[in-house]
Amino acid sequence: MNPTIKTVIGLISIFAAISVRAESDQCFREHLKEAIELNRERTSFYSQLTNGQSEKISEKLIQLESGALALTYTPISNFDHEFKKILPESNVSPMCEVFISMKSVPQPQKQFLSTQSIQNLDFKHESLKSELDQALKKNEIKTVYDLGKKALENLSVDHRTFCMSRHLIESMTRTAGLYFSWKNQVSTENQSTLMKKTKQLLNAHRLALGAVNKLDRDAIAIQMQGVPIICQDVPAIPIPEIYE
């Protein structure tokens, strides 16, 4: 299968798994709309910097986001719907807590601030994906959180590569951290439902690791030129501290 098609199918899996009913999915949908708009605006910016070499990366990114947006209009999952049933007094949708607005993304710069040689040219996602699978099978959300923090620490060697992988892992780790806040608000009889829906969301992130890794590898040649494509096109995601 064509690598681009495999990447599209793989990354869309995350959105297919977490897309919720249309009436309750505004935060996720707005996140995607903002991302598509931003990356369309920046396509020509990066193209001029790279003599057109970056256009395939921009095209692939927009293609992924557009496919994901289409899925938000289908009742594939009901994460928010189920959560509202077990926590009806909550005024904030879990999806709004998980997905950070693209409005916080900074203005694009032509070059990375650092002029040193890029160090982090590889990220082994396979072992992380396997460890996450084992943790989720055992309902160990804290382990997922710890694995995410460890992976982010490893990726911190150089912030100029594997930027979408970092973004995905930050989102996953944030979700795992938020679980403990949600857990404290849910009654005892509804804890199993909360665990089930949180695992679904976390597993969706896990499934997308391979496709995101492929996108990051394709972008390395551009980033090696000093052009911060992808790295400056995603919002910073705060990771909450957890109190079990």
**96: Cβ contacts below 8 Å, ≥ 6 apart:** 26, 27
Is the pTM above the cut of 0.75?
A: yes
Rounded to a whole number of angstroms, the CA Rg of the chain reads: 18
Burial-class residue 244 by CB neighbours within 10 Å (0-12, 13-18, 19+). exposed
pLDDT digits (tens, 9 = 90+) for 89-122: 666 778 888 888 898 999 999 999 887 888 767 8
Whether 169 contacts 156, CB under 8 Å: no
Looking at every residue in the chain, the average pLDDT score rounds to: 85
Residue 25: pLDDT band by 50, 70, 90 thresholds?
low
Return the number of other C-beta atoms located less than 10 Å from residue 82's C-beta.
18
SS3 225: coil
pLDDT digits (tens, 9 = 90+) for 194-237: 999 899 889 989 998 988 899 999 999 999 999 999 999 999 99
Helices (H), 51-140: 55-71, 79-86, 94-98, 125-137
Whether 215 contacts 60, CB under 8 Å: yes
Q: How far is CA 1 from CA 16, 58, 59, 218, in A?
A: 20, 21, 19, 17
Taking the C-alpha atoms of residue 47 and residue 65, their distance in angstroms, rounded to an integer, is 19
- The encoded tokens of residue 84 equal 């509202």
Q: How far apart are the first and last CA of the chain?
A: 44
pLDDT digits (tens, 9 = 90+) for 39-95: 999 999 999 999 999 999 999 999 888 877 887 776 555 566 777 778 766 667 788
